[in-house]
C-alpha cells in the first residue's frame, strides 16, 4: 500500500486543484491501494481567530484586488471541473479549527470532508473559520454538531495542529500543495495527473522490488 501525505490548507486554491488532480490520477489506477493522510499547513498562521476581511487582506498581502488574484486560478480550476466563485468570498479565515475538524473525522471521511471544505470556501464563499459553519459541514461526515462546537469552544486540538504545521515548515515544506509518497517521493505543487502517475508508478515499483 502506498502512503500519500498531503500537506495543504483549505484556503489554498492550488491545494484544491492539486487534490482534484490527485483524484484524477488515482482514477486511472483503480487497483492501486493508497492510504491518504492529510497533514495541516497554515498559509497564514498569524491571522486572528476571527479572520480578516478578504478584500482588505488580499490588498495588504498581495497588493491587488481579489478578482485579479484569481485570474489564472479560475482557468486552471475550470480545466479540472472546479467552478470557483471568488466573488462570494468575504473572509480570510484562520484555518486552525478546520484542520482540527479534519483530524477528528474517521479515516474514510477525511478526503470527502477536505473536499467539502474546499468547495464551501471557494465555490460557496462560506467562512470556514466560523465554528458554526464548520460544525454544519462536519455533521454531514459523521461529526456530531454539538460536540464539534464544544470542542471548538474549548480549543481542542488547536495547539497540536499548530505544532504539526510548524514541523512541516521546519522540514522545508514552505509551499502547498505538497505530496509525499511513502516518505520518499516528493511532489510539490499542483502537478498534472500524468506527473503524479509517473511518481506513483515509480513508488509502487520500488515497493514491489
Phi, psi of 163 (to 5 degrees): -65, -40
pLDDT value for 114: 98
pLDDT value for 208: 84
The residue length of the chain stands at 209
Q: What is the pTM of this model?
A: 0.96
Tens of pLDDT along the chain (209 residues)?
A: 999 999 999 999 999 999 999 999 999 999 999 999 999 999 999 999 999 999 999 999 999 998 888 998 999 999 999 999 999 999 999 999 999 999 999 999 999 999 999 999 999 999 999 999 999 999 999 999 999 999 999 999 999 999 999 999 899 999 999 999 999 999 999 999 999 999 999 999 998 88
With beta carbons less than 8 A apart as the criterion, state whether 12 and 176 touch: yes
With beta carbons less than 8 A apart as the criterion, state whether 188 and 14 touch: no
The rounded distance, in Å, linking the Cα atoms of 17 and 153 is 31
Could you tell me how far CA 4 lies from the centroid of its own chain? 14
- In eight-state DSSP terms, residue 89 is -
pLDDT value for 209: 82
The rounded distance, in Å, linking the Cα atoms of 162 and 18 is 22
Amino acid at each position: 500500500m502506498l502512503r500519500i501525505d498531503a500537506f495543504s490548507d483549505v484556503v489554498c486554491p492550488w491545494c484544491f486543484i492539486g487534490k482534484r488532480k490527485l483524484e484524477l490520477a488515482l482514477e486511472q489506477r483503480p487497483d492501486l491501494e493508497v492510504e491518504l493522510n492529510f497533514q495541516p499547513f497554515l498559509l497564514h498562521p498569524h491571522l486572528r481567530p476571527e479572520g480578516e476581511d478578504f478584500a482588505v487582506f488580499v490588498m495588504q498581502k498581495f497588493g491587488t484586488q481579489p478578482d485579479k488574484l484569481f485570474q489564472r486560478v479560475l482557468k486552471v480550476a475550470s480545466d479540472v471541473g472546479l467552478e470557483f466563485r471568488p466573488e462570494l468570498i468575504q473572509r480570510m479565515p484562520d484555518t486552525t479549527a478546520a484542520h482540527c475538524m479534519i483530524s477528528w473525522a474517521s479515516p474514510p471521511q477525511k478526503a470527502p470532508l477536505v473536499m467539502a471544505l474546499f468547495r464551501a470556501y471557494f465555490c460557496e464563499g462560506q467562512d470556514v473559520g466560523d465554528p458554526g459553519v464548520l460544525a454544519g459541514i462536519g455533521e454531514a461526515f459523521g461529526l456530531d454538531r454539538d460536540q464539534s462546537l464544544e470542542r471548538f469552544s474549548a480549543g481542542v486540538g488547536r495547539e497540536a495542529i499548530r505544532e504539526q504545521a510548524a514541523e512541516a515548515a521546519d522540514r522545508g515544506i514552505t509551499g502547498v500543495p505538497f505530496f509525499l509518497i511513502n516518505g520518499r517521493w516528493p511532489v510539490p505543487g499542483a502537478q498534472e495527473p500524468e506527473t503524479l502517475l509517473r511518481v506513483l508508478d515509480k513508488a509502487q515499483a520500488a515497493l514491489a522490488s
